Amino acid sequence: MAESNVAVIPGGTGSVGSCLTSKLLDRGFKVAVTYLLPEEATALEERLDLDESRLIIRRVDVTDAEATETFFAEAVDRFGSINVMASLVGGWSGGRDVAETDDLRFQRMLDLNLKSAWNSTRAAIPRMSPEWGRIILMGSKHSQDSPTGQAAYNMAKAGVLALARSAAAELLDTNTTCNALLPSVINTEATRSALPYADYVNWPLPEEVARVINFLASEESAVINGGGVPVWGSALI
């Protein structure tokens, strides 16, 4: 048995990711995270102040399959097989109905939300611990209720949920489960800026979402598999 559990978190320096990274480190995990924004990586490094025996942070574009594979290979080489993989990379680009959505916006939503989850899941599966493993993907409430003006995003997140269910079925004979989280809009500074006139009072906070992932990232969550886990509280969007 490994000396400590291992987590890989693509997008681990973002609002939810940084909360989750802290929680897993507090539980004794060794953690490997990716980032794209240098200021997020710097803030996390300064706050945690850990060396690479516990935490590695790499700038990786997980929409790039080769770069993703290289990152996962490094994480396992340094820390051992993976117990938890939480894919938290994603983004929203709304304000366009189907007929008004250009190819660039459409592809960007698929790449950022679905391809990132696909690349990370594909890289993780053969590297999961035989003892226990949890794969958690970031879906969306909007994969189910499909609000107007963001069809490409809705489609991409519906694909994430389908990916989680497919992976869960493929992994039934193993000790690894796979689930998708379905948050509403998360109450971050970035989303409040993007939606300045929205009522964000009931939006879930990053810390609240991270708590749910932290539970899914445990041996106690073994009975939850192939699910779309709602984390929208009383939020209506």
CA distance 19 to 40: 12
pTM: 0.92
Question: Which domains does the chain possess?
Answer: 6-230 (3.40.50.720)
Write down the pLDDT at residue 193.
62
The predicted pLDDT at position 195 comes to 63
* Tokens found for residue 26: 């507090």
CB count, 10 Å around CB of 155?
18
Residues constituting the chain: 237
| The two three-digit tokens of residue 121, written as one number | 């899941």
For residues 78 and 52, the answer to whether their CB atoms sit within 8 Å is yes
Please identify every stretch of the chain with a pLDDT value under 50, giving residue numbers as ranges.
1-2
